């Protein structure tokens, strides 16, 4: 297999360079979608796009049993060396490259004729809504096993190593507004002080107590009130909250606690507090059978020393909505060590690009292992 991968090297390197140099943010991956569609059609693949959103799906082969492979596509919007721009600082450029590489390798190995496969190029992972859109479009309705991949930071996994599962936590991002009346600085009793109300929310959130055996956090990440006049007590403010929990159950409990705080503070201060969830990412639901197929692929590719135990990460990933919304889907995600520094989402994130080729081999072998084991069991 390494010989076939070596033959694909120029194509793989060219693909990564293109994705890396042409990032697009969530739900705006128009040129990325067009590029992938054109490239894969030239390679003889049957490509399906969508009228109302970015992203695409490729189906290959036939049969009653289907193996899926998913990649995210979007970049982040962040300040890079003083300029705000789209930036692939989460590794989605590498993920797209690996999935296409696995597709080409499976094709060259004549494996696509031996089963049914589905390759999902999913938009808007960073918004936490892309996977839900794919579920809505019934993309995984016929998928039995689903695999994904994500680069891991050096603090979590060293270069040359990989894990067959990433236990991501749940994450939720909320925005809110305090709606009161401004008052003169000399007459505070005639209005409501949105800054004091915001402080009350922060203090109440600090007092939330849940199962201490499950990591969780809730914190205010943005607060804005008042204008240029220092003698006006602002009655209105906008704010953002970031909620994290290692399990979906604890996230539900945490969310209820926060919502109750909004209601209580609203009643205490006599103001309206409105809020909404902007993004919501589920905690990992991992299938152990899928993990075993991937674990063997890691050992065959990187050896025993390169095969590590699954990692627990406080980061979020919307990949896990596929299994939550479709429990029949057996899924896991490859965690790929690649010397990634300084960290995910850092504007100057970098990694060892040679890891892309290991990732392609692991994903390909995982799919082959899954196909062979399932066919043996029939």
378 — pLDDT class (breaks 50, 70, 90): low
- Judge if 56 and 203 occupy the same domain: no
- Inform me whether the pLDDT recorded for 209 exceeds 60: yes
Query: Same domain, yes or no, for 25 and 122?
Result: yes
pLDDT at site 375: 83
Examine the domain organization and report whether 20 and 129 are in the same domain: yes
- Please, what is the average pLDDT of the chain? 96
CATH of the domain at 67: 3.40.630.10
Q: What is the mean pLDDT of residues 13-31?
A: 98
369 and 227 fall within a common domain = no
Q: Are residues 36 and 119 in the same domain?
A: yes
- In a shared domain, residues 87 and 224: no
Residues 13 and 156 in one domain: yes
How distant is the alpha carbon of residue 344 from its chain centre?
12
Q: Is the pLDDT of residue 142 over 60?
A: yes
How many domains does one find in the chain? Answer: 2
Q: Is the pLDDT of residue 50 over 60?
A: yes
- Same domain for 148 and 17: yes
Sign for the CA dihedral angle at 76, 245, 221, 273 comes to positive
Kindly tell me if the per-residue pLDDT of 97 is higher than 90. Answer: yes
Judge if 17 and 134 occupy the same domain. Answer: yes
CA distance readout (Å), 183 to 6, 62, 179, 193, 237: 70, 69, 13, 8, 14
In the chain, DSSP finds a helix count (H) and a strand count (E) of 9, 17
Q: Which of 256, 281, 306 is the last residue of a domain?
A: 281
Enclosing domain of residue 272: 170-281
Helix locations, 241-354, DSSP H: 248-269, 288-302, 321-325
- Regarding whether 8 and 65 lie in a shared domain, the answer is yes
296 and 161 within one domain: yes
């Amino acid at each position: 297999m390494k010989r076939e991968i070596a033959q694909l090297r120029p194509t793989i390197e060219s693909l990564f360079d293109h994705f890396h140099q042409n990032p697009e943010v969530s739900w705006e991956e128009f040129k990325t979608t067009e590029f992938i569609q054109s490239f894969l059609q030239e390679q003889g693949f049957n490509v399906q796009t969508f009228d109302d959103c970015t992203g695409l799906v490729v189906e290959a082969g036939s049969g009653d049993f289907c193996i899926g492979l998913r990649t995210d596509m979007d970049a982040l919007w962040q300040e890079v060396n003083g300029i705000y721009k789209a930036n692939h600082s989460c590794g989605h450029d590498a993920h797209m490259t690996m999935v296409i590489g696995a597709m080409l390798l499976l094709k060259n190995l004549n494996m696509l004729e031996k089963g049914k496969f589905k390759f999902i190029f999913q938009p808007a992972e960073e918004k936490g809504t892309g996977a839900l859109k794919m579920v809505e479009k019934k993309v995984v309705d016929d998928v039995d096993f689903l695999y994904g991949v994500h680069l891991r930071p050096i603090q979590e996994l060293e270069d040359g190593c990989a894990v067959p599962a990433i236990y991501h936590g749940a994450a939720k991002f909320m925005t809110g507004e305090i709606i009161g009346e401004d008052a003169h600085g000399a007459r505070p009793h005639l209005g409501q002080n949105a800054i004091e109300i915001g402080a009350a929310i922060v203090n109440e959130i600090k007092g939330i107590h849940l199962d201490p055996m499950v990591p969780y956090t809730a914190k205010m990440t943005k607060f804005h009130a008042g204008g240029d006049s220092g003698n006006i007590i602002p009655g209105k403010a906008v704010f953002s909250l970031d909620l994290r929990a290692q399990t979906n159950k604890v996230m539900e409990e945490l969310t209820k606690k926060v919502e109750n705080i909004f209601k209580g503070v609203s009643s205490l201060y006599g103001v309206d507090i409105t809020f909404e969830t902007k993004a919501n990412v589920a905690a990992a639901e991992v299938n152990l059978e899928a993990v075993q197929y991937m674990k063997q692929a890691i050992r065959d590719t990187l050896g025993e020393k390169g095969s590590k135990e699954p990692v627990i990460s406080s980061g979020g990933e919307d990949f896990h909505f596929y299994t939550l919304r479709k429990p029949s889907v057996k899924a896991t995600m490859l965690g790929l060590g690649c010397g990634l520094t300084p960290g995910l989402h850092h504007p100057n994130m970098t990694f060892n690009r040679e890891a892309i080729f290991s990732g392609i081999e692991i994903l390909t072998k995982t799919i082959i292992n899954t196909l062979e084991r399932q066919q043996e069991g029939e």
